[in-house]
DNA sequence: TCGTCTCTCCAAAGCGGTTTGGAAAATTGG
DNA sequence: CCAATTTTCCAAACCGCTTTGGAGAGACGA
């Protein structure tokens, strides 16, 4: 059923039917009712592509998933983020398209996506420090919003981000307040902006209590369970092991907990742990009381906010850049306690 | 830059330019070269919507993410699955669209997606036993393929699935061969088809050694870490606790391990554990040697296969239903050992 | 030299909507 | 009752591409 046959069935012109359905005022209420009823009866839906052609909008937002090779790690937050974003997008009649792109032809794909008119806007995921995609998108002139920020960017751009520096500063300070001085940081990849900022916050808090950072207590890699385990084992084997560890993700934290137990220690007593918690639906930090003390910020909620902001950027192309800072909450769980007295 | 202006620039008709770019033989090699060069020079890309309108194909495949409420759990496999699928889709020029849909208006959304002509085909995720979406899609007449199967379906349909029953039968048998007779099953939600089948396999293997199933050793829920922990604690507190546990996911298995340790027992010695492992990129089962003995089947690979099969279904609308069975491999890790002698 | 084939290329008709610029009909005001 | 509005509807152009049905130009054989 297309507009033409629907109009014929009603004995009206396509114009009138189109207007009736799209809520234009140039059509009487009686006619509008009649048209709407018929549309429902015939299960009529305007063809997306035709509508898009005519209006110049695709009502689709893209999320580009980078992946340099077959074995690239998928970001665990992907599912929840998309869940939050699609829900918000659906409310405004938008769909989300996922495009996978190899590192090397980022440029090409973004340009093509725009030239093809396939999408109205783009969500940029996982920005690195000085991310090259930002100037690229500025150049292309397609609405976009970044999930996170990119240190070192001079040009303005729209973003939604958690205050990673502050949250890790607070977390570290929480530990120093408890008397900890040897604090490990099991961080994400530090060319990623979020990890870069978390490290800054950590360093600032250490500096505030006059502790110099120790390279042996720092590491940076993909945030897996095994990584958390391995690095914790390494740190606990040091002559001067940490009494507390900061973790960049729940998964690493689970590995950290395992390592602590395997060393015959008790988490929260011998070694305190604070982790960042994205509040993933399939990886909850405990049920009633949190297992880990954590800096918590729902990535799902972030997805919804990004989607809404992107839509307003699309609606108003020369809107000033949107900059939306989210604060992580510091929730206290069972994994932290006062620094053990030096024996 | 659109076809018209490109043609004008070249002094050719739109027809010729279109044909030159799409590889039709009615155009001389010299002209084709000239056209292609110009297309590159002007960075011309045919508009997706216009092309779709003209050809009647959208070159988009949808994946519907069900979600009944705000707090619905996102399936942890989502990211890897989409990664595998989009990669395969991209090879054939397809994009993937994610649509979120509330349980209650599944019907409406599928029908609309088809009527709107927004997508050429659909991937159905997470089928339940007797899933109502399958007859619905048959009725609508849109190409689709199911990730998993649906017990109790009479109508034929296309699917790609892991042989869940066999793999859990083998896993259970592996344990009975080691002398285990008290074996717990910490299963996924059993209205989901995969969980239903795994339970069947488990029961079959127990029956083979004459062991009756014990309701106290069975449970079914969303597969979280906390769930694995809680149920393991419960089972280990029984008068007659299990000596082995089967887990439906890595996440639950991690909780199971934690519970075993918290009870002062050793996994692989006091309690054996086998888990299903979807080989998620962010949740690897150990690095060199597997932590858990596991039935392993890459969900990422499954995504790629589903995508390819769906594309062939789209290309050939009256293709016979595709039924592709994947076998999980049983990899032996450090979490299993002979049944401890009854003391 | 002329009809017949190929080779190239093109004008125009869709695909299914939206939107502009009127025109006919109904309403209002004097 | 008639002119001036307002209301209601429509024909046709347009969005950017593909594809059908030729047409013109050389090449070829007779």
pLDDT in tens, A72-112: 788 999 999 999 999 999 999 999 999 887 777 788 889 99
Whether A145 and A133 share a structural domain? yes
DSSP B238: S
pLDDT at A199 (0 to 100): 98
Nearest CB to A284; choose among B72, B99, B224: B224
Whether B231 and B158 share a structural domain? no
Note whether A99 contacts B80, CB cutoff 8 Å: no
* B307 in Cβ contact with B83 (< 8 Å): no
Tally of domains in chain B = 3
Which bases of chain D are contacted by protein, using any atom under 7 A from a CB?
7-22
Distance from chain centroid for Cα B39 = 39
Q: What is the CATH number of the domain that holds B135?
A: 3.40.50.2300
Distance B319 CA to D16 C1' (A): 32
Give A-chain residues touching B254 at CB under 8 angstroms.
225, 254
Residue owning tokens 């002979």: B338
Which residues have a Cβ under 8 Å from the Cβ of A49 and sit 6 or more positions away? B49, B50, B52, B53, B58, B117, B118
Q: Does at least one atom of strand C sit less than 7 Å from the CB of B31?
A: yes
* A175 in Cβ contact with A274 (< 8 Å): yes
d(CA A87, CA B57): 26
| CB-contacts to strand D (7 A) | A 11-16, 26-29, 31, 50, 53-54, 56; B 2-4, 14-15, 18-19, 21-22, 26, 44-47, 50-51, 53-55
Residue owning tokens 């890309």: B45
Nearest CB to A287; choose among B79, B111, B226: B226
Q: In what order do the strands lie in the sheet with B323-326?
A: A323-326, A159-162, A144-147, A121-124, A60-66, A95-101, B95-101, B60-66, B121-124, B144-147, B159-162, B323-326
CA distance A90 to chain B (A): 7
Between β-strands A121-124 and A144-147, what pairing exists: parallel, antiparallel or unpaired?
parallel
Distance B48 CA to D18 C1' (A): 12
Q: Is A338 contained in some domain?
A: no
Using DSSP's 3-state secondary structure scheme, residue A321 falls into coil
Which residues have a Cβ under 8 Å from the Cβ of B209 and sit 6 or more positions away? B176, B181
Q: In what order do the strands lie in the sheet with B293-296?
A: B218-220, B183-187, B244-247, B272-277, B293-296, B329-331
Whether B9 and B115 share a structural domain? no
- For residue A243, give both structure tokens: 């009494």
> pLDDT per residue over B215-231, tens digit each?
999 999 999 999 999 99
A18: pLDDT strictly greater than 70: yes
B123: pLDDT strictly greater than 70: yes
pLDDT at B80 (0 to 100): 94
pLDDT band at A224, cuts 50/70/90?
very high
pLDDT at B317 (0 to 100): 85
pLDDT band at B115, cuts 50/70/90?
very high
Dihedral angle sign, alpha carbons of residues B1, B2, B3, B4:
negative
Q: Is B335 contained in some domain?
A: no
Is pLDDT larger for residue B68 or for residue B22? B22
* A335 in Cβ contact with A267 (< 8 Å): yes
d(CA B243, CA B271): 5
Distance A10 CA to C27 C1' (A): 26
Whether B205 and B318 share a structural domain? no
| Average of per-residue pLDDT across A31-39 | 93
Q: Does at least one atom of strand C sit less than 7 Å from the CB of A29?
A: no
Between β-strands A121-124 and A60-66, what pairing exists: parallel, antiparallel or unpaired?
parallel
A70: pLDDT strictly greater than 60: no
Nearest CB to A74; choose among B67, B80, B116: B80
B69: pLDDT strictly greater than 90: no
Burial of B100 (0-12, 13-18, 19+ CB in 10 A): buried
Q: Is B184 contained in some domain?
A: yes
Closest C-alpha to A47, from B55, B133, B141: B55
pLDDT at A68 (0 to 100): 61
Task: Using CA coordinates, name the residue in chain B closest to A56.
Answer: B49
Closest C-alpha to B304, from B157, B90, B125: B90
pLDDT at A101 (0 to 100): 76
Task: Using CA coordinates, name the residue in chain A closest to B286.
Answer: A226
Q: What is the CATH number of the domain that holds A18?
A: 1.10.260.40
Q: Is B103 contained in some domain?
A: yes
Which bases of chain C are contacted by protein, using any atom under 7 A from a CB?
7-12, 14-22
Neighbours of A41 (CB within 10 A): 11
Whether B136 and B183 share a structural domain? no
Helix (H), strand (E) at residue A274: strand A272-277
Nearest CB to B284; choose among A53, A82, A226: A226
Distance B53 CA to D18 C1' (A): 9
B325: pLDDT strictly greater than 70: yes
CA Rg value for chain B: 25
| Average of per-residue pLDDT across A1-7 | 91
A71: pLDDT strictly greater than 60: no
Nearest CB to B282; choose among A73, A87, A98: A73
Q: Is A53 contained in some domain?
A: no
- For residue A291, give both structure tokens: 């297992």
Give B-chain residues touching A257 at CB under 8 angstroms.
258
Distance B45 CA to D15 C1' (A): 16
Is pLDDT larger for residue B254 or for residue B68? B254
pLDDT at A307 (0 to 100): 97
Whether B68 and B99 share a structural domain? yes
pLDDT band at B37, cuts 50/70/90?
very high
Which of the nucleotides lies closest to B26 (Cα–C1')?
Answer: C8
Lowest-confidence segment of A205-209, A231-235, B97-101 by average pLDDT: B97-101
pLDDT at A317 (0 to 100): 85
Helices (H), chain A: 3-10, 14-21, 29-41, 48-55, 78-91, 106-115, 133-140, 164-177, 193-208, 225-236, 250-262, 299-315
Whether A115 and A187 share a structural domain? no
Whether B132 and B222 share a structural domain? no
Whether B199 and B152 share a structural domain? no
Distance B26 CA to C1 C1' (A): 30
Any bridge partners for residue A99, and if so which? A64
Dihedral angle sign, alpha carbons of residues A272, A278, A283, A288:
positive
Closest C-alpha to B232, from B256, B213, B251: B256
pLDDT at A102 (0 to 100): 74
> pLDDT per residue over B172-209, tens digit each?
999 999 999 999 999 999 999 999 999 999 999 999 99
**Mean pLDDT, rounded, of chain B:** 93
Note whether B76 contacts A72, CB cutoff 8 Å: no
B171: pLDDT strictly greater than 80: yes
Domain containing B101: what range? 60-162+300-326
Q: Is B332 contained in some domain?
A: no
pLDDT band at B108, cuts 50/70/90?
confident
Q: What's the helix, strand, coil split of chain A in %, to 5?
A: 45, 15, 40
Q: Does at least one atom of strand C sit less than 7 Å from the CB of B15?
A: yes
d(CA A202, CA A213): 9
Note whether B76 contacts A75, CB cutoff 8 Å: no
Using DSSP's 3-state secondary structure scheme, residue B278 falls into coil
Q: Is A315 contained in some domain?
A: yes
d(CA A264, CA A270): 10
Between A and B, how many CB-CB pairs are < 8 A?
164
B71: pLDDT strictly greater than 60: no
pLDDT band at B70, cuts 50/70/90?
low
Q: Is A150 contained in some domain?
A: yes
Dihedral angle sign, alpha carbons of residues B81, B83, B84, B89:
positive
> pLDDT per residue over A252-298, tens digit each?
999 999 999 999 999 999 999 999 999 999 999 988 889 999 999 99
d(CA A6, CA A236): 73
pLDDT at B64 (0 to 100): 84
Instruction: Return the percentage of chain A with pLDDT > 90, whole number.
Output: 86
* B304 in Cβ contact with B160 (< 8 Å): no
- Buried b / exposed e along A134-153 (16+ C-beta atoms within 10 A): bebbeeeebbbbbbbbbeeb
Closest C-alpha to B116, from B187, B194, B58, B44: B58
Lowest-confidence segment of A69-78, A231-240, B41-50, B328-337 by average pLDDT: A69-78
Note whether B116 contacts A254, CB cutoff 8 Å: no
Whether A186 and A257 share a structural domain? yes
Whether A203 and A86 share a structural domain? no
Whether B178 and B282 share a structural domain? yes
| Average of per-residue pLDDT across B311-326 | 94
pLDDT band at B99, cuts 50/70/90?
confident
Residues 82-121 of B with CB under 7 A from strand C: 117
Task: Using CA coordinates, name the residue in chain A closest to B55.
Answer: A49
Closest C-alpha to A174, from A340, A331, A343, A342: A331
pLDDT band at B107, cuts 50/70/90?
confident
* Nearest protein residue to nucleotide D13, judged by CA and C1' positions: A54
Q: Does at least one atom of strand C sit less than 7 Å from the CB of A51?
A: yes
Distance A16 CA to D5 C1' (A): 22
Burial of A189 (0-12, 13-18, 19+ CB in 10 A): middle
């Amino acid at each position: 059923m297309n507009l033409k046959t629907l109009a014929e069935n009603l004995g009206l012109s396509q114009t009138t039917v189109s207007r009736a359905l799209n809520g234009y005022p140039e059509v009487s209420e009686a006619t509008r009712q009649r048209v709407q009823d018929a549309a429902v009866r015939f299960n009529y839906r305007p063809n997306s592509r035709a509508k898009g052609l005519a209006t110049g909008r695709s009502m689709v937002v893209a999320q580009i998933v980078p992946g340099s090779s077959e074995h690239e790690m998928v970001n665990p937050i992907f599912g929840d983020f998309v869940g939050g974003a699609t829900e918000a997008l659906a409310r405004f009649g938008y769909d989300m398209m996922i495009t996978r792109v190899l590192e090397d032809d980022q440029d090409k794909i973004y340009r093509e996506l725009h030239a093809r008119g396939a999408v109205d806007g783009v969500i940029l995921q996982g920005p690195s420090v000085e991310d090259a995609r930002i100037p690229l998108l500025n150049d292309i002139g397609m609405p976009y919003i970044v999930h996170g920020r990119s240190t070192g960017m001079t040009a303005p751009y729209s973003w939604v981000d958690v205050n990673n520096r502050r949250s890790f500063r607070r977390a570290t300070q929480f530990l120093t307040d408890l008397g900890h001085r040897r604090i490990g940081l099991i961080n994400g990849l530090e060319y990623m902006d979020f990890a870069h900022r978390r490290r800054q916050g950590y360093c600032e808090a250490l500096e505030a209590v006059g502790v110099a950072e120790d390279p042996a207590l720092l590491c940076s890699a993909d945030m897996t369970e095994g990584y958390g385990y391995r690095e914790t084992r390494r740190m606990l084997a040091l002559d001067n092991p940490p009494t507390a560890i900061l973790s960049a993700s729940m998964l690493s934290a689970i590995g950290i907990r395992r390592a602590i137990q395997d060393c015959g220690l008790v988490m929260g007593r011998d070694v305190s742990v604070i982790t960042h918690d994205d509040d993933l639906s399939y990886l909850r930090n405990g049920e009633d009381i949190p297992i880990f003390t954590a800096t918590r910020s729902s990535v799902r909620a972030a997805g919804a906010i990004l989607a809404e902001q992107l839509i307003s950027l699309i609606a108003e192309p020369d809107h000033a850049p949107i900059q939306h800072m989210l604060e992580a909450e510091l929730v206290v769980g069972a994994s932290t306690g006062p620094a053990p007295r030096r024996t």
